[in-house]
Amino acid sequence: MTVVHEMEIRVRYQETDGQRRVHHANFLTYFEMGRTEMLRSHGHSYRDFEDAGLFMVVSDARLSYRAPAEYDDLLLLRTRVEKIGAAHIKHAYEVIRGTQIIVTGETTVVCVDPEGKVRRLPDWMLG
């Protein structure tokens, strides 16, 4: 897979909290959207992945919050593959509004079977 994917995300009212900013937990959901759409941009669907009996589960996450995002903001999410191992992928993320960095982060996802046992990534992902 090539290494960078970009998508826009419009902040939903439901995603804000009493501070009128996007609740910090939602950025993990945004990152997940980035992974899904990056796969799709390569002609794959994570749904097919699960239908084949494999799951990607998050094993580690790290987020750094630099500036608040607000309702109705149009954010740019940049997702990058940092590293691919036999059974895991490390992604890095930037959420940007205009020229301002809102959040940066990293996650590691691991390929497991329905019993939770670590499994090798499919060849089309490694290729």
Which one among 14, 99, 117, 123 touches its own copies, defined by CB under 8 A? 14
Name which of residues 84 to 123 contact its own copies (CB under 8 A). 116
Report the sign of the C-alpha dihedral through residues 11, 16, 21, 25, in that order: negative
**Closer to its own copies by Cβ: residue 62 or 120:** 62
* Residue 72 engages its own copies in binding (rule: CB under 8 A): yes
Q: What is the amino acid identity at position 14?
A: Q
HSE-CB at 82 with a 13 A cutoff on CA atoms is 13
Closest approach of its own copies to the CB of residue 40, in Å: 8
Is residue 79 a contact residue for its own copies (CB under 8 A)? Answer: no
**One-letter amino acid identity for 11?**
V
Q: Is 20 in the site for its own copies (CB under 8 A)?
A: yes
Interface of this chain with its own copies, residues 49 to 68, rule: CB under 8 A: 50, 55, 57-65, 68
DSSP, residue by residue, 23-42: -TTHHHHHHHHHHHHHHHHT
